[in-house]
Amino acid sequence: MDDMSLKDYLAEGGMLTSPANVPPRYRAELLKLMATFVDSELAGAAGFADTINRGPGIKERIAAAKIVLEKTDNADKVLKIMGDFGADEVRYANHHPWTARLDRDADIGTRRVEHDMRLAVFNYPLEGWGDAVVMNLLMGQAVGVQMGEFVKVSYQPLAEAFRGIAPVEARHAELAHEGMQRLIAEDQGDQLQASVHYWWPRVAASFGIGNPDRFEALREMGLRHTPNAELKSAWEARAGETLSQLGLKAT
């Protein structure tokens, strides 16, 4: 009964608990997953920071500042776990200019740019307050779907970190939703619709293309559970419904 390989243990839903009992390939994939999250949060927060001053009122500016603060804090929580594996946390936080963006019409699909692991969607610049709110709503709901996947990850310290992060991220999507409602009431529906057209395919692409072999390898390690396509449809359904309640169309 004592003889069970870590591979079988993980495939059957077992949890790993410290850097000392993590096998090499698992370590690498776990670090990649954490880097993707940290880079996306840091890039997202940095890009959104400029938007704080564009908030039309003090409440909006508080909401935007809160989002920037908390996304940076969420990045820090996961970066600490990377630190347990030897990553240099101070250097990591500064190894890339997180505010850097491509052109608004750059077409990079799901590709990430060199040097950091942020999701492709975080390479596009925001254009004004309303555009930022739309991006935050759509991406916020995408993160909500991703969080459902992340809290099941087989590295217990990371699953616990994500359990703390999930409600904070959910609140960010709610703030964006409230912001949208205000802008709709102010008759800005047309501009918001244009932003939805811009962000919808880019947020959709953040779910990735999904290589079945790679997904299977990650599933066996307990680092993934639901295929990308399924997560993407869950988001499409959820975000589509939110938009229609606001009187907007997804595509």
Residues that bind other proteins (CB under 8 A): 1-2, 4, 6, 8-9, 12-18, 20-21, 23-25, 27-29, 31-32, 35-36, 39, 82, 84-88, 91-92, 95-96, 114-117, 151-152, 156-157, 159-160, 163, 214, 217
CB of 9 to other proteins, least distance (A): 4
Give Dmax (Cα) for the chain. Answer: 67
Q: Of 29 and 178, which has the nearer Cβ to other proteins?
A: 29
Q: Of 86 and 109, which has the nearer Cβ to other proteins?
A: 86
Q: Are 153 and 214 in contact (CB under 8 A)?
A: no
Q: Of 84 and 174, which has the nearer Cβ to other proteins?
A: 84
Q: Of 47 and 222, which has the nearer Cβ to other proteins?
A: 222
Residue tagged 């942020």 (tokens): 118
Q: Of 161 and 248, which has the nearer Cβ to other proteins?
A: 161
CB of 78 to other proteins, least distance (A): 12
CB of 189 to other proteins, least distance (A): 40
The Cα 159–Cα 150 span in angstroms is: 7
Q: For residue 25, which of 238, 227, 220 has the smallest C-alpha distance?
A: 220
Phi (first) and psi of residue 155, to 5 degrees: -95, 105
Phi (first) and psi of residue 185, to 5 degrees: -60, -25
The Cα 147–Cα 5 span in angstroms is: 28
CB of 148 to other proteins, least distance (A): 12
The Cα 210–Cα 232 span in angstroms is: 11
CB of 38 to other proteins, least distance (A): 9
The Cα 203–Cα 1 span in angstroms is: 46
CB of 66 to other proteins, least distance (A): 25
Q: Of 24 and 212, which has the nearer Cβ to other proteins?
A: 24
Residue tagged 């759509």 (tokens): 138
